A and B are shown apart, each in its own frame.
Chain A
Amino acid sequence: AQSVTQLGSHVSVSEGALVLLRCNYSSSVPPYLFWYVQYPNQGLQLLLKYTSAATLVKGINGFEAEFKKSETSFHLTKPSAHMSDAAEYFCALLTGGGNKLTFGTGTQLKVEL
């Protein structure tokens, strides 16, 4: 079965510190992976996506993620957290023949002064 696991439902970092949000996947076919961000009372916005090209993917707002097949991981990072990064982050896997997104349970990121 194809699935996504996000480790840590809540992550807290200090402003200026490294952000690391973890995502592991299970897929029987080469995966297409996504990170979305959801700000309070808003819809989901795409941060970045991996579609079998470069393994290091750069997204919006200074975020990037590295696809590691050997570790079945697609962790999201940002070198320096900003208060505006506080939101919920979802990792997702494209499944079902290419139209269905399977989402992880989400990680709530808190940024403290």
Chain B
Amino acid sequence: DAGVIQSPRHEVTEMGQEVTLRCKPISGHNSLFWYRQTMMRGLELLIYFNNNVPIDDSGMPEDRFSAKMPNASFSTLKIQPSEPRDSAVYFCASSGLAGGYSTDTQYFGPGTRLTVL
């Protein structure tokens, strides 16, 4: 398996522009997670999906951020409009569930480094 795939790996944009980050989870995994990593705040969970349904988006910073999972093999994280403080590395991770309580490993993608000028 190719693992979790994220694109683009690097994105540089100007303030006010729309940014779309993409993620393809590992085939067969039914949970998908979006994280943000910054020096100041460390690793933060933004949102996660279970069976394509958003379960917890309490980590999404504000309405400028939105995430979708139209099918089991694709998810997007969109920022509109982008701001310099959104500069960070954004990771996608996926996992499979075992019964009602997940003990499964979250597998991380390589991340997208976003720079907003």
Q: Which residue of B lies closest to A104 (CB)?
A: B42
- Choose from A42, A49, A94, A103 the contact partner of B42 (Cβ within 8 Å): A103
- Choose from B50, B110, B111 the contact partner of A99 (Cβ within 8 Å): B50
Q: Which residue of B lies closest to A36 (CB)?
A: B108
Given contact pairs A46-B105, A51-B103, A98-B102, A90 touches B43 in the complex (Cβ within 8 A): yes
Known contacts A94-B103, A106-B43, then 13 further A-B pairs from the complex at CB < 8 Å, ordered by chain A residue: A34-B105, A43-B108, A44-B93, A46-B107, A49-B103, A51-B103, A97-B101, A99-B48, A100-B45, A100-B56, A101-B106, A104-B42, A105-B42
Interface residues in B30-45 (C-beta closer than 8 Å to A):
31, 33, 42-43, 45
- Choose from A34, A43, A46, A98 the contact partner of B101 (Cβ within 8 Å): A98
How many residue pairs link A and B with beta carbons under 8 A? The number is: 51
A49 to B31, Cβ gap below 8 A?
no
Across-interface contacts of A100 in B (CB, < 8 A): 45, 48, 56
Given contact pairs A96-B56, A99-B48, A49 touches B105 in the complex (Cβ within 8 A): yes
Across-interface contacts of A42 in B (CB, < 8 A): 110-111
Q: Which residue of A lies closest to B100 (CB)?
A: A98
B55 at the interface (CB under 8 A from A): yes
Across-interface contacts of A106 in B (CB, < 8 A): 42-43
Across-interface contacts of B114 in A (CB, < 8 A): none
Given contact pairs A96-B56, A100-B45, A43 touches B103 in the complex (Cβ within 8 A): no
* A binding-site residues for B, Cβ under 8 Å: 32, 34, 36, 41-46, 49, 51, 90, 94, 96-106
> Which secondary structure characterizes the binding site on chain B?
strand
B25 at the interface (CB under 8 A from A): no
A101 to B109, Cβ gap below 8 A?
no
Given contact pairs A43-B109, A43-B111, A105-B42, A98 touches B103 in the complex (Cβ within 8 A): yes
A103 to B43, Cβ gap below 8 A?
yes
B105 to A99, Cβ gap below 8 A?
no
- Choose from A43, A49, A99, A105 the contact partner of B91 (Cβ within 8 Å): A43
